[in-house]
A and B are shown apart, each in its own frame.
Chain A
Amino acid sequence: MSLTTKVKLGLLATGIAAGVALPYLTSPFIIGIVTLALVFGLFAMSIDVLAGFGGLVTVGQAGIFAVAAYGVGYTATHLDGGHVLQVAVGLAAGIAISVIFAIMAMRTSGVYFLMVTLAQGMIVWGLAYRLAPITGAENGLRGILRPPAVSAYWTYYYLVLAIVALAGGLLWIVTRSPVGLALRGLRDGEDRLRMLGYNTAFHKAYVFVLSGLFATIAGILYVYLNQFISPAASEFATSGHGLLMAILGGTGTLVGPLIGAFVIVFAENMLSTYVERWTTLLGAVFVITILFARGGLVGMLSQAWPRVLARFGHPAASGDAGAGSPPGAALDGTAHATSNPHGITTEDDQRSSR
């Protein structure tokens, strides 16, 4: 096992341990913010699958997120359904809208894809205001209670932590699967991919729905966290926030969007207490990230990693990230950074490993 892999596993174990210990170490207020950051982290990861891995920049993901949340909210407040029914309706609504959106967007790419997703988000936002009997319009839907087993802030935190960890693991598998490779091919050369036998429109739709499924789960977790849903959840700013979280943390990395979500959610909730113009500060951070750290925070760490190894005289400093790996392969270990993240082996490799 390489040093880089050991460091990654160490960081993962530390993260899990810190996550489990957190309710014993800090206040309910901080736990609330961490729970919100985890929910938005999952939401940003769902955007990263499309934008970071597939080059399909979406700005309408909040539409799916909100439809799932409204599905839960409507069942809870209007149908008096139990929690199983609420979650089932939320999932069904989110997946259904994902399928509809995917069919609308599957034959577009580049700026046209972006515009279609923008329109989709705006449609949901408009309907959230117009369909007052269902959505409660600007008043939203209130009184959406959590299941009794997770009604306490800390039990709900553990539930969210477990679901986000599981979802993150599943998304990691997806990005390492044949579909993940095709997704990266889609980003690099859609025409070439088509010529190799891929129905790229279908693949786009498939990944769109897959990404929508995780946005749906984030929407369900969000509505139970706040016990309230309003049209604000579906507005462009929510999608924009998700995209910015992914960019700030590092697109095409999965862990980057989660880190970006923590930075932004904490900035919103903590920085605003001390700095009146905190949004200006946050804006400046985005501009600096885009200008000087295109790989986001994870990209910066990845680039710094070989230098850290070199500083401590580690022999792997020049190649620990894998032979032929470009800078950036060390820490994130995903998609665009490594030369062979899928671990495709030749028989020679297999013989030498035996």
Chain B
Amino acid sequence: MTPTALHLDAVTVRFAALTAVDRVSMTVRRGERWAVIGPNGAGKTTLFRTISGEVLPSSGRITLLDHDVTRKPAYRRAHRGLGRTYQITNLFSELSVVENVAIAALGRTRSRFRSWWPLRMERDVSRRAREALEQVHLAHRHDTPVAELSHGEQRHLEIAVALAADPAVLLLDEPAAGLSSSERMLMRRLITELPRELTVVLIEHDMNLALELVEHVVCMDNGETIATGSPDEIRANERVQAVYLKSD
């Protein structure tokens, strides 16, 4: 059996009286593509923030590549191979495109502590930055300040930044948020072209887009898992339909 990349065991997140994530469990095997769907306020982003270490769970256990990371800070999870993108573009706005990916490529190397050594001498970082930009078709924007990129390009750069860190598990938080229909097509192609060995878990509000990209789906509502299965099973699930009809 394929080894487990990410395992959540009854993960619960409470903020005072509010239970944002309620005993969510899932097992994602290496190379699999998963989607977490659900209406607004379902707890999807809180779940992502919990997996990435920005929020610590109230109870439950998170295992990343066979390591218990439940109480580990975000940077340690990144060292273990976790990468993520954000629903609202979260780039280094005063840096150029290549600096954004270079800073990510440095994150898991010892070189990030070098202060008496010019960055340009870090050949491996340059190579990984270039590869990440080529993967998202932004190599031609190498020196452009981030502020000069279009929204669609910034969304692509978000993914390049995550890829440059060489993750084993990639969390994509609404990668198509705010994109036009043509840009969504490009984004869909980009996600489809991601290396197969990379484990991907994505949140997507657009259920049709999400179901096209993955093999496994978790549907959440009010912090709980209401359905898990293949895209076809999720489409046919009455509870999922009811939740989406309710939210419409």
A interface list, Cβ under 8 A from B = 170, 173-174, 176-182, 184-185, 187-189, 191-200, 203, 206, 210, 322-326, 336, 339-340, 342-348
The reply to whether A176 and B118 form a contact with Cβ atoms under 8 Å apart is yes
Q: A177-B114, A179-B112, A344-B120 are in contact. Are A195 and B52 (CB under 8 A)?
A: yes
- B residues with CB within 8 A of A: 52, 54, 73-75, 78-79, 83-84, 86, 90-96, 98-99, 102-104, 106-108, 111-120, 122, 125-127, 129-130, 133, 139, 142-145, 147-148, 161, 165
In the assembled complex, the CB of B51 is this many whole angstroms from the nearest CB of chain A, namely 11
A177 touches B115 (CB 8 A): yes
With both chains docked as a complex, state the minimum distance between the C-beta of B199 and any C-beta of chain A, in angstroms.
Answer: 17
Bound-state CA distance A343–B118 (Å) is: 9
- Number of contacts between A and B (CB, 8 Å)? 151
> Is B130 in contact with A347, judged by CB distance below 8 angstroms?
yes
Verify A324–B75 contact, CB threshold 8 A.
Answer: no
Contacts of A196 in B (CB 8 A): 75, 78, 83, 103-104, 107, 161, 165
Contact present for A178 and B75 (CB under 8 Å): no
Q: Are A210 and B104 touching (Cβ within 8 A)?
A: no
- CA distance in complex: A325, B94 (Å): 11
A189 lies within 8 A of B92 (CB):
yes
> Which 7 A-B residue pairings sit nearest by Cβ, starting from the closest?
A197-B107, A196-B107, A197-B78, A179-B115, A188-B92, A342-B119, A343-B120
Q: How far is the CB of A304 from chain B (nearest CB, A)?
A: 20
Chain A residues whose C-beta falls within 8 Å of the C-beta of B108 in the assembled complex: 197
Q: Are A179 and B113 in contact (CB under 8 A)?
A: yes
A4 CB to closest chain B CB, in angstroms? 15
Interface centre among B95, B107, B165 (most CB of A within 10 A): B95
Q: Which residues of A contact B112 (CB under 8 A)?
A: 178-179, 182, 197-198, 203
A184 contacts B95, CB within 8 Å? Answer: yes
Interface contact B117-A181, CB-CB below 8 Å: no
